[in-house]
Amino acid sequence: MDNFPWLTAMMVVPLIGAALIAALPSAMAARAKELALAFSVATLALGVGALTQFDLHSMQQFQLTETHSWIESFGVSYALGVDGIAITLILMAAVLTPVCILAAWHDVPEGGSREKNYFAWTLLLLAFMVGVFAATDVFLFYVFFEAMLIPVYFLIGGYGGPGRQAAAVKFLLFSLAGGLVMLAAVIGLYMQGPRGPQGFLINSLTGLNIDPTTQKWLWLGFFIAFAVKAPMWPVHTWLPDAAGVAKPATATLLVGVLDKVGTYGMIRFCLQLFPDASEWATPVVIALAVVSIFYGAFAAIAQNDLMRLIAYTSISHFGLIVLGIFAMTTTAHAGAALYMINHGFSTAALFLVAGMLIARRGSTKISDYGGWQRVVPAIAGVFLISGLSSMALPGLSSFVSEFLVLAGTFQRYKGVGAIAALSIVLAALYILWMYKRMMTGPRPEGVVHRDLTWREKFVVAPLILSFLFLGVYPKPVLDILNPAVQRVLTEVGVSDPSPVVPAAAATESEK
Amino acid sequence: MDSQFTATAVNYWAIMPILIVFGGALVGVLVEAFAPRSSRHSIQVALTLLTVVLAFGALVWKSVDDQGSTLAGALMIDGPTLFLQGSVLLLSFVAVLLMAEKFGSAGADAFTPMGAAVPGSPLEAAAARAGWGTGEVFPLALFSIAGMMIFPAAGDLLTMFVALEVLSLPLYILTGLARRRRLLSQEAALKYFLLGSFSSAFFLFGSALLYGYAGSIQFGQISAAISAAGVELDGLLLPGAFFVLVGLLFKVGAVPFHMWTPDVYQGAPTPVTGFMAACTKLAAFGAILRLAYTGIDADRWDWRLAVGAIAALTMIVGSILSVAQTDIKRLLAYSSIAHAGFILVGVLAFDITGVTGVMFYLLAYGLATLAAFGVIALVRDGNTEASHIGQWAGLGRRHPVVAGVFALLLLTFAGIPLTSGFTSKFAAFAPAIAHGGRMGAVLVVIGVLCSAITAFVYVRIIVLMYFSDAKGEVVALTPSVLTTLGLAIAVILTIGLGIFPSPVLDLAGQASQFLR
């Protein structure tokens, strides 16, 4: 099985699924969701298979590599490969997709070709998500980066709530504008490299000696695209709109997985390819990240719309991830990489449980709820756990990553670390206040709803398991991430600041 | 000079494709005169398609082995010429298939039964009742195609001018032959003719100045004269180069010579619009490449900044004005202006890879735009084309295939990866960054930003087709087998050039060296 193309297979399987579902005759359209679930689970199985082939102690940056020439005259190869960060993100996508398909079981009640297309688009999106994280060719990455917009666009614009068209267009335009700027930088980067038929491989473009001014421009071209995607303040405005109107399953994939392309891109491209420019830009990026953290948190507090609230919490969390990436210490970096995974799962749980509530109440307004823990106690409990994980309660997964990010940031930037730590308080505020407004209080009269169904239990079970497991024992994932993190930081050429322990305060030994 | 007359050597195999097309056009005129009216349409379509296929065959089998300058340097049959001629023939094949659509009427559906009749007159009605058709559109198209094949091959200014006229005159007539909204069509034809003649005059005047400068109309000699001469005649060179370029930039619809484009695109019969947008642009850019790379190349430091400014303006004006359009044909007209700007960015790279990129762009854009106008011709509100974009609302629900094809083409125009639009944009922009210096980089940045603007325009139509509720009685007609074939060729190639562009890119790459 050594030469089995795991990553290609992980794209081909959902592609076949999407094509098959799209081609289903209308009489069979009701079978679309079962098929979609089967194909996404098969993809997940392949992902697990790929993980078994992944060598923690490999000397190569990328493993499971496949390289084929694609457009030789442009220097483009079909080159796939993963490092620790990429494979965990791919696995996260592969786990979240079946979960989302299960959660979206009754999203398109009218059935027929519309339902069919919904699941076909979702599977197509899965294929692109695998591709974007697995691409080790800058051009190929760009192709997936842009192509991904199409399924998301149709998922939001075709199936979302009121205002979906405007939100879908806004999403597409923000992403396209960012992406097209990146295209100019992609071409410019190629010209700086060795060119030739494999000129777009990341390996060919790493460690180049680029003139500082050019490097800064190129860095900026990439960073703008990723900042839009991540999204960071001030180019975040598309996210609340898009996530607010999208179906919960779509919002989950959008915020949980797709936006990670932004932060992943910062690590893979901004840092690895332009180390000097990244260091040059660090102060500004950190400032933007801190603004994002607090802007997202305050905006979340002010929301009365459940979906928008969760979207704003994500902006805050993405601020923390970006902070961890650009703090450039091993601890913060590992924390950021781990945070990407944890945030994916906890946001998924929040969105999907919120979706269950919305499906019952028929409203996204927080003020339309109240006292619901007496109506649907199990859902309320799950919602609370998801919320607690999102606000980084110790013992749940996000705590580990958030702590690592803050501690790592503190090593280098004490003031920033201290300020960013305040966001924990705000997180508690927006999560608990939301819970209070929706769940506590007297039981609303005459409101009877079914509590968690079996299907919904299967939706939340893997997510909650991930909180508990990664919260108590994150080591396996950190073991996968750490070599990759080390490698990136070596490429940038930074080392951790040595801890300064004043002799008098030696008892204060914690870092 | 020799007093004795020596016959010019003609390499007949090299120019065989052009001769075949001319021959086919002449036979078409005879068919129009002598064939019975009932079978004229079928004969004309068959003859035209056969001519195009034969010419393509001659090009692929014979001309490629007989490259060189012929007719005393009047025609340069080299790599770019052959690639562009082949592209013109391929695109024309699709265009003729689309022109031939009848939708059950006696003649081609897009064309008036009697061009000479006053719009709305009893004569016109009688011609329609009698089932007449305008079969002469096919020989006219063939003449135009022949002109387009000579245009990029021209080795001197005079041949280029003749080709310009040969390709333009039939187009002026074709523009005025729309069956519906005839006044608009005739107005468009008149505008096109007047402005076209005006630009031809510019071209001629520029040619005269260049002749005065170099003492020759041959590109090779002009180029040599520029390299050799001092500065004393520069007063002739720069205006000459500028006026000649104006004449050519008019044909591609570059700003500020674009004013005719929206009116003509809107007024002309839709298949003719597609033919113009695809083939005229291709041939004219071929001529621009020839002139800029082999004729006035040595002087490019004097004029490239001006053309760079034109490219920037073209992209900006084309994309911004396309936002405000409500007529789908006008919208695509402005989009074609923006695309002309993108292509100019590639032209200004002044490198062999730029030629490759431009040629690939022209072919890919031509296929997509032909298919787009082909689809527009299908969407009807009652008896007329539903050209207001509001009428396209909800088309995705009622006609998923038609709307899906159009959405794909719009994504292609927007340059989304995995479509030919992206590959071609990359092919044109990459050389500009690599070899175009700072101006190239700036133009590319303007280009990508303008792409984002145009993407907004295209996406708005997709939104309308898929996410809006239908209004009115707009339907998509079922096309005939021939039209379906034409659309299928264009759409499949559009996807193919997006996913596996290598063969065509390599071909364009091998064919991008100009003979000087």
Please say whether the beta carbons of A9 and A130 come within 8 A: no
Q: What is the rounded average pLDDT of the residues A240-246?
A: 86
Distances (CA, A) of A191 to A186, A217, B331, B440: 9, 13, 35, 13
Specify if B333 maps to a domain. Answer: yes
Cα–Cα nearest to A249, from A143, A359, A386, A128? A359
The DSSP secondary structure of B246-274, one letter per residue, reads HHHHHHHT-TTS-THHHHHHHHS-HHHHH
For residue B439, tell me if it sits in a domain.
yes
Q: Please report which confidence band the pLDDT of residue B185 belongs to, taking 50, 70 and 90 as the band edges.
A: very high
Q: How many domains does chain B have?
A: 1
The pTM (predicted TM-score) of the whole model is 0.88
A503: confidence class by pLDDT, cuts 50, 70, 90: low
Residue A321 confidence (pLDDT) above 70:
yes
pLDDT bracket for residue B368 (50, 70, 90) = very high
Residue B135 included in any domain: yes
At B102-137, the pLDDT tens digits run: 887 777 888 888 888 888 888 888 888 887 878 889
C-alpha A176: how far from chain center: 18
**Over the stretch A381-405, which tens digit does the pLDDT of each residue have?**
888 988 888 888 888 888 888 888 8
Distance from CA of A185 to the nearest CA of B (A): 9
> Do the domain assignments include residue B360?
yes
- The SS3 assignment for A274 reads coil
Dist CA A438 CA A443 (whole Å):
11
Flag whether pLDDT at A508 surpasses 80.
no
Half-sphere exposure of residue A399: CA atoms within 13 angstroms, side-chain side: 17
A441-446, Cβ contacts within 8 angstroms, sequence gap of 24 or more: A441/A370, A441/A371, A442/A370, A442/A371, A442/A374, A443/A371, A443/A374, A443/A375, A444/A370, A444/A371, A444/A372, A444/A375
Q: Which of B426, B453, B461, B499 to mutate to test the interface with A (most CBs of A within 10 A)?
A: B426
Q: At residue A501, what is the residue type? A: V
Q: What is the pLDDT of residues B387-424, one digit of tens each?
A: 888 888 888 888 888 998 999 999 999 888 888 998 99
Is residue B178 situated within a structural domain? yes
Which of A69, A70, A71 is best to mutate for the B interface (most B CBs within 10 A)? A71
Q: Which residues pair with B379 in a beta bridge?
A: B476
* Rounded Cα gap, residues B75 and B12, in angstroms: 11
- Is any Cβ of chain B less than 8 angstroms from the Cβ of A181? yes
Q: Is residue B452 part of a domain?
A: yes
Rg of the Cα atoms in chain B: 22
Question: Is a pLDDT exceeding 70 seen at residue B197?
Answer: yes
DSSP alpha helix (H) spans, A362-453: 377-390, 397-412, 414-421, 423-439
Q: Which of A404-408, B74-78, B266-270, B471-475 has the lowest mean pLDDT?
A: B471-475
- pLDDT score at B3: 63
Tell me what ipTM this predicted complex has. Answer: 0.80
Kindly report the nearest CA distance between residue B510 and chain A, in angstroms: 11
Residue A486 has pLDDT above 80, yes or no: yes
pLDDT above 60: residue A189: yes
Nearest partner of B262 among B316, B324, B313, B180, judged by Cα: B324
Q: Rounded to an integer, what is the distance from CA A388 to the centroid of its chain?
A: 19
Q: Is B455 on the interface with A (CB under 8 A)?
A: yes
Q: What is the H or E stretch that residue A327 is in?
A: helix A306-327
Tokens of A439: 């769940």
Does the distance separating the beta carbons of B460 and A191 come in below 8 Å? no
B515 is a domain residue: no
Q: Which has more confidence, B155 or A25? A: B155
- Structural domain including B497 reads 12-510
A79: β partners: A67
Would you say B396 and B465 are in contact if contact means Cβ atoms under 8 Å apart? yes
Could B467 and A149 be called an inter-chain contact, meaning their C-beta atoms sit closer than 8 Å?
no
Q: In 10 A of CB B201, how many CB atoms?
A: 12
- Residue B107 lies inside a defined structural domain of this protein: yes
**Per-residue pLDDT for B230 more than 80?**
no
Q: Report pLDDT for B268.
A: 92
* Residue A348 contacts residue A314 (beta carbons within 8 Å): no
Percentage of chain A exceeding pLDDT 90:
11
Contact between residue A463 and residue A386 where contact means Cβ atoms under 8 Å apart? yes
Concatenated DSSP letters for A281-313? HHHHHHHHHHHHHHHHHHHHHH--BHHHHHHHH
Helix (H, G, I), strand (E, B) or coil at A209: coil
Are the Cβ atoms of A146 and B434 closer than 8 angstroms?
A: no
A169 touches chain B (CB under 8 A): yes
pLDDT at B455 over 70: yes
Q: What is the DSSP letter of B298?
A: G
More confident residue, A58 or A354: A354
Query: Which residue in A459, A429, A268 sits closest to A359, CA to CA?
Result: A459
Report H helices in A3-31. 6-22
